Structure 1
Amino acid sequence: MLSIQDLNVYYGSIHALKGVSLEVNEGEIVTLIGANGAGKSTLLKTLSGLLKPKEGTIHYQDSVISGKPAQSIVKLGVSQVPEGRRVFADMTVEENIELGAYLRKDKEEIGKDFKKVYSIFPRLYERRKQTAGTLSGGEQQMLAMGRAIMARPKLLLLDEPSMGLAPLMVKTIFETVKDISKAGTTILLVEQNAHIALSIADRGYVIETGRVILSGTAAELQASEEVKNAYLGGH
């Protein structure tokens, strides 16, 4: 579904991604793990069209999307839940969710997807008239995910969904990620919490200072001494 070949991305003179290659097959949950500043979020921003690569290609289904504008990438079925959630604080929960369907014209189907989002996240339904800024961090994460679902993505890019959340809420969010995957959405997950990411992923890639240094099935990465020592607290 997604194939990235030899991607090089710069922030000014800083070489943020150095020849990154990876692939995601339809129906998989693939996770990218690595320390802060390794290049994980840069990769997602490049996939979303928010950053332009200097070299390399990104194939999504039958299209080359590297360098395309963000809105045309969303139209193709790629949605991102950004790091830090980025909800519109002064708008209601309902208005935030509705924005996810901004490019869609199929009113009846949009109505169905609203019901779907509220069935996945009943708490959002309870808070639908509240402004998003009054929600807890976990509720804002639910809202950011609900908003992304409204675009009917075939590929969902999740950037650090557990960041800043209480352990119980992290569990809830990751159970939901599994449910979204089971319902037919392919997921590329960027996550600092390697433990929980590998517990739900099919495969993973380890990124260090802009390079992929390891890849394998989730089980292989969980068993790797290198991954254990660097990302799983040595156990």
Structure 2
Amino acid sequence: MLQVNNIDVFYGNIQALHGVSLEVHEGEIVTLIGANGAGKSTLLKTLSGLLKPKSGDVMYLGNKISGKPAQTIVKAGMSHVPEGRRVFANLTVEENLDLGAYLRKDKDGIAKDLDHVYELFPRLLERKKQLSGTLSGGEQQMLAMGRALMAKPKLILMDEPSMGLAPLMVKAIFEIIKMVNAEGTTVLLVEQNAHMALSVAHRAYVLETGKIVLAGSAKELKESDEVRAAYLGGL
């Protein structure tokens, strides 16, 4: 579904990604783990068209999308849940969700998907008329995920969905990620909570200083001494 071929990405003169290659197959949850500053968010921003690779390319459903504008990529069926939620604080929950569907014209489908988002996140239904800036961190994360789902993506990119959340809320968010995947949406997950990420993923990559250093099934990486020492607290 997604193929990243040897991409180099720069911020000015500073190289953030060095020859990164990875693939995501339809129906999978693939996770990308790594320390802060490893380049994980940079990779997701490149995939969703917010950054352009200097070399290499990104193929999505057989088409080259690297260098295409973000809205074209969303239209093709890829949504991005950004790090730090990025909800529109001065708009209501419902208005944020409506914005997620801004490229769609199928009114009946949009209404159906809105109902489904409220099924997945009952808390959002309770707060639908509330300004999203007044929500808790966990509720804002649910809203960011719901907004991305309103675009009806085939592939959803999630950047640090558990960041800054209480353990119970983290558990709830990961249950929803599994549910979304079970309903047919492919997931590429960037996550610092390596233990949780590897427990829901099918496959995983480890990114260090802008390079992929390990790849394999989630089970293999969970059992790797290297990964345990670096990311799982020696568990």
Same fold (TM over 0.5): yes
**Offset at residue 218 of structure 1 (A):** 0.3
Tell me which residue corresponds to 2:193: 193
Tell me which residue corresponds to 2:127: 127
Equivalent AA in structure 2 for residue 133 of structure 1: G
Residue correspondences, number:
235
Instruction: Give distance in 1, aligned partners of 2:139 and 2:24.
Output: 28
Tell me which residue corresponds to 2:34: 34
Instruction: Give distance in 2, aligned partners of 1:19 and 1:41.
Output: 16
**Offset at residue 58 of structure 1 (A):** 0.5
Tell me which residue corresponds to 2:152: 152
Instruction: Give distance in 2, aligned partners of 1:114 and 1:50.
Output: 26
**Offset at residue 48 of structure 1 (A):** 0.4
Instruction: Give distance in 1, aligned partners of 2:152 and 2:27.
Output: 15
Instruction: Give distance in 2, aligned partners of 1:85 and 1:226.
Output: 31
Give the unaligned 5+ runs of structure 1: none
**Offset at residue 56 of structure 1 (A):** 0.4
Residues 54-89 of structure 1 deviation map (CA, whole Å, 9 limit, x = unaligned): 000100012100110000000000000000000000
Tell me which residue corresponds to 1:76: 76
Tell me which residue corresponds to 1:174: 174
| Alignment root-mean-square deviation, CA | 0.4
Residues 82-125 of structure 1 deviation map (CA, whole Å, 9 limit, x = unaligned): 00000000100000000000001111110001100000000000
Tell me which residue corresponds to 1:23: 23
Instruction: Give distance in 2, aligned partners of 1:105 and 1:21.
Output: 35
Instruction: Give distance in 1, aligned partners of 2:4 and 2:91.
Output: 36
Instruction: Give distance in 2, aligned partners of 1:150 and 1:186.
Output: 15
Residue 208 in 1 paired to residue 184 in 2? no
Residues 40-62 of structure 1 deviation map (CA, whole Å, 9 limit, x = unaligned): 00000000000000000100012
Tell me which residue corresponds to 1:229: 229
SS at match of 1:128: coil
Equivalent AA in structure 1 for residue 158 of structure 2: L
Alignment of 1:72-111 (within 5 A): 72-111=72-111
Tell me which residue corresponds to 1:136: 136
Residues 135-188 of structure 1 deviation map (CA, whole Å, 9 limit, x = unaligned): 000000000000000000000000000000000000000000000000000000
Q: Percent identity?
A: 71
Instruction: Give distance in 1, aligned partners of 2:8 and 2:43.
Output: 10
Instruction: Give distance in 1, aligned partners of 2:57 and 2:145.
Output: 27
Instruction: Give distance in 2, aligned partners of 1:47 and 1:78.
Output: 9
